Amino acid sequence: MKFVKMHGLGNDFVLIDFAGSGSVQVGSTETRDLKAMAQKICLRRFGIGADGLVILLPGKKARVRMRIFNPDGSEAEMCGNAIRCVAAYLYRHGLLEQDETRRINIETLAGIIIPKLIVTKEGEVKAVQVDMGEPRLERAEIPMLGPSGPVINEPLKVGSVTVKITAVSMGNPHCLVFVDIQQGSNLEPRTSNFEFPPLTELGPQLENHPAFPQRTNVEFIQVLNRSNIKVRVWERGAGITLACGTGACAALVGCVINNFTGRQATVHLPGGDLRVSWGEDNHVYLTGPAEEVFTGEF
């Protein structure tokens, strides 16, 4: 199979085009076990290595449909970094119609998502802005077990500690934990009532917490000021990643509903920065780069 390796701020993906129109066309997926394929391809030592496998298919509600599989084989509803990569791939490989060269409809499990290409005068993709749709704050829509209503700064017992969380869905579930990291210190994040365990301990515990029936992504957020936040990510089915697009969007929404920031902010992630805004139309807009690293055959 031919593939393209891409990344958004170091959140990397193997993209395989089954849509039948691209330079990496490989035909039908009908006889392929996509879960097993993702597990094999995403291995860092024995496969290509990636945070996810992206499959492009002909769409039913749009010309292109994106499916994304985590390294553990589970399928994600959406991924902000991956969909930017898909938009850039379609543009760079000449797979768009003339009227699609700025705004593209892409079908996902979270619905139709519309990336907008930001192109230089020389025709290079400088960045991709994605209309991520409306955030969902109702507990049942995240989904999370418990009484109806939003989940804002709510205590949740995790092992031997209790952590206050905010929950947001951006088409996929996110559990947000606000922390205060001592500037210039290598200490783990702290809150007023307990010292955080390492990310590798608390991340998987929250991901698999019984309160989240479909598991959850986890974001640890440090508010720097009203327009800048720092985020560390534990992704459902992938573990620690350098960036998460839906996570950055959920983090901003969580900051706004907790009155920590305004409706626009730069989200600083280990892999780089994303710009996120929550518009007056209630849609969240994500802007960031998408890079093609190499092509190959698996």
pLDDT in tens, 2-30: 999 999 999 999 999 988 654 444 445 55
Mean pLDDT of the chain: 89
pLDDT in tens, 145-186: 999 999 999 999 998 888 999 999 999 999 999 987 544 333
Does a cis peptide bond (omega within 30 degrees of 0) precede residue 143?
yes
Query: What is the spatial distance between Cα 92 and Cα 83, in angstroms, rounded to a whole number?
Result: 14
**85, 244, 249, 255: which is the annotated catalytic residue?**
244
Q: Are 240 and 234 in contact (CB under 8 A)?
A: yes
Q: Are 5 and 293 in contact (CB under 8 A)?
A: yes
Query: What is the spatial distance between Cα 182 and Cα 136, in angstroms, rounded to a whole number?
Result: 32
**79, 85, 175, 255: which is the annotated catalytic residue?**
79
Q: Specify whether 175 is catalytic.
A: no
Give every CB contact of residue 215 below 8 A, 6+ residues apart in sequence: 173, 207, 208, 236, 237
